[in-house]
Amino acid sequence: MPAESTTVGRAMMKHDRASAALGMTVVVNEPGRAVVTMTVRDDMLNGFAITHGGFVFALADTAFALACNDSEYVTVAAGADISFLKSTTAGDVLTATALERAKSGRSGIYDVQVLDAAGATVAEFRGRSRRTPTPHAAP
């Protein structure tokens, strides 16, 4: 975790076995903004030898979760839309940047852009968050 990560983000990632198992690295973790990277592995490829959409989504979703958990209450994903713009394959390094776009009451909208190492857009993800009344567990 980067030096500038939030306390909540550090606790979330410490317990996030899924993101760890996928080899994700948190580069930035601030209230309303997060950057996470992941290198595509052989076991993330689908039957067409390109990155399975689920792993591109997973990377964006982790960045989204870090960006939207900026209060003392657990915030969850109510849903998301993703557009796949460029396929990738094993060895490609993907970077997901999540930014808060709008908030209204307990709901929020976050945009996550997934780029490859050359800066080309791999996917555009828009997440819909919902703040729950449950406080975060002590870190």
- The footprint of its own copies (CB under 8 A) covers 11-22, 42-49, 52-55, 57-59, 61-62, 65, 74, 76-87, 101-102, 104, 107, 109, 111, 113, 121, 124, 126, 128
Pairing of strands 25-30, 93-104: unpaired
**Contact call for residues 93 and 27 (beta carbons, < 8 A):** no
Rounded Cα distance between 13 and 35, Å, is: 13
Q: Could you tell me which residues are beta bridge partners of residue 89?
A: none
Least distance between its own copies and beta carbon 18 (Å)? 4
To the nearest whole angstrom, how small is the minimum distance from the Cβ of residue 118 to its own copies?
14
Burial of 132 (0-12, 13-18, 19+ CB in 10 A): exposed
Q: How far is the CB of 109 from its own copies (least distance, A)?
A: 5
